[in-house]
Copies of this chain bind each other. A is one copy, B any other.
Amino acid sequence: MAGVAPSTVSFVLNGKGKQMRIRDEVATRIMQVAEKSGYEPHRMAVNLRTGQSKTLGLIVESISGSFFASLAKTIETEAERRGYNVVYCSTENNAQKGGELIRMLGRQMVDGYLITPAPGMEKEIQHLVQQHKPVVLMDSYFPSIKTPYVLINNFDGVQQGMKHLISKGFTKIGFVMVDVKLIQIEERLRGYVTALKDHKIPVKKKHILQLQYHKQREDSLRELQDFIEANSELEAIFFSTNYLGILGLEVLARMGLKMPDDIAVLCFDDHDIFRLYPPGISVIEQPIEGIAKTAIDLLMHQLDKNSTPLKKNAVELPGKFILRGSA
Question: What residues make up the interface of A, taking CB atoms closer than 8 Å to B?
Answer: 40-45, 47-48, 53, 63-66, 69-70, 72-73, 76, 85-90, 92, 103-104, 106-109, 246, 249-250, 253, 272-273, 276-278
Contact = CB atoms under 8 A, between A and B. Distances in A.
Contact of A249 (B66, B108, B276): B276
A245 B89 CA distance: 30
A246 B276 CA distance: 8
Contacts of A45: 48
Q: How many copies does the complex hold?
A: 2
B107 A43 contact: yes
Given A69-B64, A277-B277, A48 B40 contact: no
A92 B73 contact: yes
A85 B104 CA distance: 9
Given A45-B48, A69-B63, A109-B43, A88 B88 contact: yes
Contacts of A250: 276
A114 to B, nearest CB: 14
A64 B72 contact: yes
B40 A44 contact: no
A276 to B, nearest CB: 6
Contact of A41 (B70, B107, B276): B107
Contacts of A249: 276
Contacts of A76: 63, 89-90
A76 to B, nearest CB: 7
Contacts of A107: 40-43
Nearest to A53: B44
B44 A73 contact: no
29 contacts: A40-B103, A40-B106, A40-B108, A42-B107, A42-B108, A44-B48, A44-B108, A63-B69, A63-B73, A63-B76, A64-B66, A64-B69, A64-B72, A73-B90, A76-B89, A76-B90, A85-B104, A86-B88, A87-B87, A87-B88, A88-B88, A250-B276, A253-B276, A253-B278, A272-B273, A273-B273, A273-B277, A276-B277, A277-B277
Nearest to A43: B107
A59 to B, nearest CB: 12
